[in-house]
Amino acid sequence: EVQLVESGGGLVQPGRSLRLSCTASGFTFGDHAMSWVRQAPGKGLEWLTFIRSKAYGGTTEYAASVKGRFTISRDDSKSIAYLQMNSLKTEDTAVYYCTRSQHTLSSWGRGTLVTVSS
Distance CA 15, CA 27 (A): 36
Question: Going along the chain, which residue ranges are E strands?
Answer: 3-7, 10-12, 18-25, 34-39, 45-51, 60-62, 70-75, 80-85, 94-100, 107-108, 112-116
Query: Applying CB under 8 A, does 64 fall inside the site for another protein?
Result: yes
- C-beta closer to another protein: residue 16 or 26: 26
Tell which one of 21, 46, 58, 76 touches another protein (CB under 8 A).
Answer: 46
Distance CA 41, CA 84 (A): 21
Tell which one of 47, 69, 93, 113 touches another protein (CB under 8 A).
Answer: 47
Tell which one of 1, 77, 104, 118 touches another protein (CB under 8 A).
Answer: 104
The total of other beta-carbon atoms located within 10 Å of residue 103's CB is 8
Tell which one of 79, 97, 114, 116 touches another protein (CB under 8 A).
Answer: 97
- C-beta closer to another protein: residue 23 or 107: 107
The footprint of another protein (CB under 8 A) covers 44-47, 61-64, 97, 102-111
